[in-house]
Structure 1
């Protein structure tokens, strides 16, 4: 049975997200853009089948998707809430929810013009309250925004509401639009920490307890701080100074700062046979061309233990008629894959003009 779904990506990489979805269904029909980074797609495959295929080999640029089970018109008045409630009460998939099934409602509203102030007579929270009540009353399911098994997704845009109910594991992300939010912590050194936190969550990996780690391009020390908090002994590599708050780790012997370039450190480390295979974790957030960054990570591979993990960002240029970031990603991943055959790449919510890649030998 054919299906239509709503896809969310970064505004900047919408074209890349559209194109990469074709590898899951060569007959995929790309629909209209509802907002920059938010668009419709139709497949000849049933939603469950398409989503299962996507889940086996997740896309890089598409962050979130959900099926469209109902579409209703919106006039931005309070009456819209009743219209959406009626549509939800008639969803066939409601019958699959059993009593006590944890679910959540995720609602997003957009104006016709990006950035324009919302002019709806209700809020996304009002939608959540109304529709959660409908589901609970009809099925006995229990709202649980922290650990839902089912998610009712609602997107209001271009005078319509697109509504779909799906298992959370088929949506690519359990967060609305893949927009993972983290609470701001007093000890946070830099915004860059958030993308490493998100990467660990998305790739479902944890840092090992104990061991040595390398942080390339470490300053001011956001990623270094997370490695230290995990209990790793860290060598931070960067010509620039680290945040003074990390000094306590240096004094405790858990942190050393190589105040030079990653290439010079590598040259010295490879000459010291005792360092080969001695690092459990390698991370890099260096600002350099994606192919050069990939080549550097390959050169660092001898220092990584056989069961170690590496996480790196690959910086991408803005798209133009002559420059296609997705092609550059393919080239960089091909370089990495020869040495790190087990890799995953995602354009995370906290990434900017870059992707984040998990690497294992």
Structure 2
């Protein structure tokens, strides 16, 4: 038992960085933070400026301060809420992905492969397809669907051996929920089918300030809970045996972390649809941008990188083929595929 405690304590400590000189220890992180801050500022300016009509960045302050006019309405009522929703969605999915990956100790444990995202989207699609009036929509149906999808996966994987089996079963549950989405789509009114198709592909079109307001309750509850769950998450990273020795009940703690991830995912999927694979690549990018930091800093990095990627994807979705709008979820899926290919090639190179 003493050996387990010693190993757990050592694993919980951040890995020591190589001694490369005092200046480099603070200079490199400072450069990274400055670069990310500059990229985020540029993304905000581009999101508010680009499109039809084009607003020159130098005129943005005067346009924002104006009492009215076409440019003022476009920037403040269309582009600003859409940018804010993209930031909130990316941050939430990045945090949810980190919670799932660390609690289950699997880098592929993401909402798309655990039934969480598909369950939330299926529940919203059913309410729209059948014309059901549900109080608290879209958050409440999405939350119920995310919980059911995750619970189905958890029940189905009981007795499964190895992470690959768990992910295959989760993918099967997600496929069944996606079939339910398609069934709801086929039964929807013809006027609703176009809206549902865009929603099921992940879209931020038609975003208003009321859409942002519908997202806030789940995130304002889920993100602080994610921060409060960091101590338990740090123990779950060590494995069930070590966590038990250190006084944690692994089963209950893991269930609590999964519940928080479901809440955050539902808060995003409800208004935006399944914006795919942000929960996968945000933690992966954060692990490479800040490899030797604690869980709190990694959580913040996942939120920031997820927000930037979804914001950039939404900007590309509405400008690249204007007036045709691309699905944001499709673009984020492409980013995930490219990142996964890069990681696979690097792993093969390391093995050789």
TM-score greater than 0.5 by the shorter chain = no
Q: With a CA cutoff of 8 Å and minimum separation of 6, indicate the structure with the bigger relative contact order.
A: 2
- Structure (1 or 2) with the larger CA radius of gyration: 1
Whichever structure has more strand as a proportion of its residues is: 1
Whichever structure has more helix as a proportion of its residues is: 2
TM-score of the two chains, using structure 1 as the length reference: 0.24
